[in-house]
Amino acid sequence: MYGDYSYLHLDEPIDTTHHLVAKFKVKSKMDLKIVAEAIAAESSVGTWTGLSTMPMDRFRQLSAKVIEIDKAKSLVTIAYPVELWEMDNLAQLLSGIAGNVFGLKEIEALRVEDVVFPEKYVRYFEGPAFGVEGIKDYLGVYNRPVLGTIIKPKLGLTAKEHAEVAYQAWANGVDLVKDDENLTSQPFDNFYDRIRYTLELKKKAEAETGEKKIYAANATAQPDEMLRRAEFIKANGGGCVMLDILTAGLTSLEYLRKQDYNMIIHGHRAMHGAFTRNKDLGISMLFIAKLARLAGVDELHIGTVVGKMEGGKEEVLGIRKALMKPWFGIKKVMHVASGGLYPGLVEKLVKMTGNDVVINMGGGIHGHPGGTAAGARAARQAIELVSQGKHLDEARRTDKYPELKAALEKWGE
């Protein structure tokens, strides 16, 4: 019965080295203890009634355990024996932690807030191939943030037009150019043509600037085609592949990472708001970010605080902390700040994040009054000023930064 899953009476705490510990936010008209026990049963070994097929010793070994209830915050904490989980299988983990429990009648709304993983589970995953340090080494960028841009408009440019816009950005100070989340291989912009043209111009920009550049090309597709696209990127001299990790699925991300292409994996979180935005229902971005780190993403969109996308300072910096903290040998993941950014926001963002961040500007570069080239120069000027400990106001007081001055006049700070 459900009551058998309550371990609130234990004098000794649960051994967290042998358990996954999940925190849920629960909305229900029923007593929170009963609901917590229902979640523990459904997500481990039990169901709504006693079972003649369950030996008691096996129940004690494998059942989930309700270890904490915070009625004031509607939070319940459940510990899961590590034996419940197949190692290196995030799909199975989600089927348990965030599967049938969302359909229980006892629950009006449920949200997975966080999961703490034991070392035994984490060490089955490869994690990022590059991580923060590898990306900085690849670019040779250490004392400032990485400057990125998304080609705009999102859709509509031909492959050659896309490549030319990318070149204008790279040649004028941008480090990383990425496809937008819904650009894959459309009739007006074939993926394979875009890769050839864009990587050719990346090499040209590298030769002209003396700087290493990154093109994060969106390979999101069915698994076999995803691999063909990744291999084509590599064959044409690319060093990075982008994946929409939620629409493609975390198992696709794992599969891509296991190919060991020696390419940076840029993770876009398109569709995350369907799971994360409602603070009473779904899955937190913190949990998704931890799963993405296990699966092998090197850099991940997690929010900007100051841009157009939702996500407050506490939430975004909390996710960032989880991606940057030591984790049983799993490399750190680079924070990608993207969505509504422009040069005037650089100072505020860097104060919160420091230099280990990709500052991604789309419209904030291509919408510059002087066009993409001027927008790229304005963004790079902002980053370099801030990295030198200076304020953006300096651009208003001198003639040394005309592009940045124009950007500040258009968008402000």
**Catalytic positions, written as ranges:** 152, 268
Task: Name 147's Cβ contacts closer than 8 Å, sequence gap at least 6.
Answer: 173, 174, 175, 176, 358, 359, 361, 376, 379, 380, 383
Angstrom distance (rounded) from CA 346 to CA 125: 34
**Beta strands 334-338; 264-268: pairing state:** unpaired
With beta carbons less than 8 A apart as the criterion, state whether 81 and 32 touch: no
The total number of residues written for the chain in this structure: 413
Q: Where are the beta strands (DSSP E) in 60-136?
A: 65-70, 75-81, 109-116
Angstrom distance (rounded) from CA 332 to CA 324: 5
> How many other C-beta atoms are found inside a 10 Å radius of the C-beta of residue 192?
14
DSSP, res 126: -
Q: Where are the beta strands (DSSP E) in 5-108?
A: 19-27, 65-70, 75-81
> How many other C-beta atoms are found inside a 10 Å radius of the C-beta of residue 314?
9
Angstrom distance (rounded) from CA 356 to CA 324: 9
- Tell me which residue has tokens 């799993």: 330
With beta carbons less than 8 A apart as the criterion, state whether 105 and 8 touch: no
